[in-house]
Amino acid sequence: MIGLISLGILIAAFVFQFVAHKSRKNYKTPQFLFWGSALAVLLYYFYLVYAQYFAWKNDGGISKFLVPPYESFLYVFGYHFVRFLLYYLIAFFVAVLFFAAAKHYNRKFDEKFFETEEFYWGALSIFLLGGQDWGYAWIYYFLTLLVIAVIGSTVQTYVLKKNERFSFYWLWLPVAILVLLVAMFVS
């Protein structure tokens, strides 16, 4: 289910990117989508803990020994932390690291690599690829971006004879959608 939600967010972000590109006024939406997605994952984690607690407590079988008074309530938090939230925390850390590095080097080289909202599109993609069933899909995301960038740059330079920088602007979200679809069908 979380995969479909992530896919929906990525598709909605791509549609927004496509529609809003011409106006170039709304830079807050990518930021809102990134932080809103992080908050949604955290709230979903708390829902999972809540639902698991009552499922184990009301089971009447052996699982009632996994919740208080037999076991600490932290056990339920830890159970879903390892099964769900840990993957997203790793992806969140990588997304924030990407965001900071990209912003730093873009500023250092006079804003010639990325447009303003690209930091958030990349970070959003990395974060949403940190789901529980495909936890490290963001690694495949980076590899896929690299391969597409090499091919695109080669075609742009040698076939189209354009001597300009290859832009990632339209790659962040579609490549994330592609990697997520592959990860969902493979797992």
pLDDT tens per residue, range 101-132: 999 999 998 888 888 888 999 999 999 998 76
Mean pLDDT of the chain: 88
Longest CA pairwise span in the chain (Å): 71
Q: What's the pLDDT score for residue 25? A: 63
Q: Which of 33, 15, 25 is nearest to 116 (CA)?
A: 25
Tell me the whole-structure pTM to 2 decimals: 0.89
Mean pLDDT of 124-152: 89
Sign of CA dihedral 137, 141, 143, 144: positive
Q: Which helix (H) or strand (E) holds 88?
A: helix 86-108
b/e per residue, 20-44, with b = 16+ CB within 10 A? eeeeeeeeeebbebbeebbeebeeb
Give 26's pLDDT tier (boundaries 50, 70, 90): low
Distance CA 37, CA 141 (A): 18
Q: Which residues contact 53 (CB under 8 A, 6 or more apart)?
A: 67, 73, 76
Give the percent of the chain with pLDDT over 90. 46
